[in-house]
Amino acid sequence: MEITPGVHRITDINGSNAVLIVDEQMAVVDTGISGNGESIVSYIKSIGRDPRDLRWILVTHFHFDHSGSAQELHELTGAKIVSHRAETELTPEGKSLLIKGNEGAEGPPKIYSWLMGRRGNKRTQEIKYHDTEVHETVEEDDVIPCLGGIRIMHTPGHTPGSICPVLEGPRVLFLGDSVLNNINRLSRPLMWDRNRRRELDTSLRRLRELDSDVAMFGHGPPLTDDVNNKVRGLTDRPYDLPTWKIVLKNWRTLRKWRETTSKPGHWGAGPK
Ligand SMILES: [Zn+2]
**Helical ranges in 144-268 per DSSP H:** 194-206, 227-236, 243-261
Asked whether residue 267 is assigned to any structural domain, the reply reads no
Asked if residue 230 has pLDDT above 80, the reply is yes
Residues with CB under 5 A from ligand 1 (ion): 63, 177
Q: What is the pTM of this model?
A: 0.89
The phi and psi torsions of 200 (rounded to 5 degrees) equal -60, -45
Query: How many structural domains is the chain composed of?
Result: 1
Tell how far the Cα of 189 is from the centroid of ligand 1, in angstroms: 9
Q: Are 144 and 27 in contact (CB under 8 A)?
A: yes
Over residues 21-47, the pLDDT tens digits come to 999 999 999 999 999 999 999 999 999
Closest-CA residue to 177 (of 102, 270, 90): 102
Q: Which domain holds residue 24?
A: 2-256
Residues 181-191, buried b or exposed e (16+ Cβ, 10 A)? beeeebebbbb
Asked whether residue 261 is assigned to any structural domain, the reply reads no
CATH of the domain at 225: 3.60.15.10
Tell how far the Cα of 4 is from the centroid of ligand 1, in angstroms: 25
Tell how far the Cα of 23 is from the centroid of ligand 1, in angstroms: 27
Asked whether residue 263 is assigned to any structural domain, the reply reads no
Over residues 190-219, the pLDDT tens digits come to 788 888 889 999 999 999 999 999 999 999
Asked whether residue 102 is assigned to any structural domain, the reply reads yes
Q: What percent of the chain has pLDDT over 90?
A: 66
Helices then strands (H, E): number in the chain?
A: 8, 16
Beta bridge partners of 4: 7
